[in-house]
Amino acid sequence: MSNDKTDAAGQVQQLLGALEIIDLLREEMEQWLGEAQDESTKECLENVVGHIGAIEESYRQRLAEMREQGLSLIDR
Look at residue 6 in the predicted model and tell me its pLDDT: 76
Look at residue 31 in the predicted model and tell me its pLDDT: 97
Strands (E), 1-76: none
Look at residue 53 in the predicted model and tell me its pLDDT: 96
Every domain of the chain and the residues it spans: 2-75
For the chain of 76 residues, list the mean pLDDT of each consecutive stretch of 10: 72 93 96 96 97 97 86 48
Quote the pTM value.
Answer: 0.79
Those residues whose C-beta lies under 8 Å from the C-beta of residue 69, and which sit 6 or more positions away, are 8
CATH topology of domain 2-75: Methane Monooxygenase Hydroxylase; Chain G, domain 1 (1.20.58)
Look at residue 67 in the predicted model and tell me its pLDDT: 82
What letter does residue 38 receive in the DSSP assignment?
S
Look at residue 71 in the predicted model and tell me its pLDDT: 57
